[in-house]
Structure 1
Amino acid sequence: MGRKSFADVATELRRSIDEGEFQRFERLPPSRLLAEQLGVARNTLRDALYQLEKEGLLETRAGSGTYVTAVKQDVVPSAVEEATPLELIDARFALEPHICRLSVLHGRREDFEALEAFCKQMEAAQNDSTLFAEADTAFHRRLAASTRNNLLIWLISQINTIRSLDEWTRMRHLTLEEQIIQQYNAQHREILNALRSREPERAAVKMKEHLETARMSLMRAAEA
């Protein structure tokens, strides 16, 4: 059938959820029909649905089907739409180190297994900035979800909205070179190792180091 990868299909479905084409609590069409609509093989669709389920956007219920669990974004708030990539990093500095602490307290084995899967996806995408960015966003989204704090989950979803805007896309192409992706991958591993070993302060420190690397990379690109 089509040549789309599961990541391409996941992106299409994620956008459909964000734009309200699929509403919260709505059941998706049967997999055969949905695969035909998207022009992909059913195994590709299955992998895409599994990806979105790990991100907390979908839920599969045995004998019933796959349902949307995410809340759509009705309007991009002006503060988000007008934010610069550096403002994004500053906002993340304020939230994500403490998110790591809460993940240590409330994270479950399935959360850490999902984070491990995203690490592997990022490592496999060392030469593909687009796929890396998709897995990177999913890693940080799942990290927030592991806190079980709905307000923090919502705040991170708002921050992640910036990543789909034109300015962020432009900066991503400028900054996500192979060497920096390697560095990010090593840092994500250090964060995950600290979470798994239940060391909240070490996890927070590793997140700060990761965000500082991202900040410096963005500043260099802005000055170029």
Structure 2
Amino acid sequence: MPFQRIQSEKLSHAVVRQIEKLILRGILRPGERLPAERELADKLGVSRPSLREALADLQDRGLLETRAGAGVFVAEVLGSAFSDALITLFATHDEAVSDYLAFRRDLESMAADRAARLGSETDLKVVDTVFRKMEAAHAKRNPAEEAKLDAEFHLSIIEASHNIIMLHMMRSMFQLLQEGVFYNRQIMFKQRATRDELLNQHRAINDALQARDPEAARKAVERHLDFVEGSLSDWREMERNEDIARQRYEHAQTL
């Protein structure tokens, strides 16, 4: 007979499965600190020995890490998506930027479509909240803050799409972007005209999502990333022109 005796699950195994799901769904994020042992045991309703057993299992598998004197953290696993050698290649070849933006255009337009159709009211409220922060940062003219919120806005849409593979893949890609591997995002927010246009584009994306219009959301994301690619191309051309002009000027001073 194919039946087996039912056995109650160890508490530590239940803790492991719960923390695994929180990491998998992107609720617990890389680098995030877990509550102190006593507090976490109380929240989960388990004994501290059961909690320690679960945490040890998760650490052995590389999902959690202990930092001396600081506590237990979700492991920084995103960088492992690419080798150091490949990351260096990304950073030194312009074609990687174009391919990166094309990759984002395809996946993020799909994510926006899914978010408009499948995102919960709370998901869309999170997206809208980040956009309102972008409006506030825009008024302060802080390129670093605007660049940070730009990434949060796009990731909130991906989270709202509820595709866990897409979520972790794009978090990995945004991690590299935040580290300046593909380009310096703050460049995009230094010119007033560009900043205004970027805010309008993010507003269009947010409006389409709040209206639950998948086609409008998809097209708004595509227009936005096409604009980003064009702006970066113009900036690189201006940099090359400036180098030539500087050489011409320096040479003229010697005549």
TM-score normalised by the chain length of structure 2: 0.58
Unaligned runs of 5+ in 2: 1-28, 39-71, 91-95, 239-255
2:35 matched residue in structure 1: 27
| AA of the residue aligned to 1:142 | S
Q: Structure 1: any 5+ residue segments left out of the alignment?
A: 1-16, 31-66
- The SS at the match of 1:27 is coil
Deviation of 1:130 (Å):
0.6
Decide whether the 8 Å contact of 1:99 with 1:144 is kept in 2.
yes
Runs of 4+ in 1 over 6 A off after TM superposition: 67-71
Q: Which residue of 2 aligns with 1:123?
A: 135
Q: Does 1:157 align with 2:165?
A: no
Counterpart of 2:206 in structure 1 is 192
**1:82/1:111 CA distance change after superposition, 3 Å:** farther
Would you say the 8 A contact 1:85–1:167 is kept in 2?
no
Report the CA distance shift for 1:114/1:218 in structure 2 as closer, same or farther (over 3 A): same
Given the alignment of the two structures, is residue 101 of structure 1 paired with residue 109 of structure 2, yes or no? no
Q: 1:154 to 1:145 in 2, by over 3 A?
A: same
Tell me if structure 2 keeps the 8 A contact 1:80–1:161: no
TM-aligned CA distance change 1:27 to 1:197, over 3 Å: same
Structure 1 partner of 2:226: 212
- The DSSP-based 3-state class of the residue aligned with 1:82 is helix
Q: How many percent identity over aligned positions?
A: 20
1:165 CA displacement: 2.5
* Cross-structure match for 1:88: 100
Q: CA RMSD in A?
A: 2.8
Q: Which has the larger radius of gyration?
A: 2
- Equivalenced residue count is 168
Please report the TM-score for the alignment, with normalisation by the length of structure 1.
Answer: 0.66
Once the two structures are TM-superposed, the CA of residue 74 in structure 1 deviates from its matched residue by 5.2
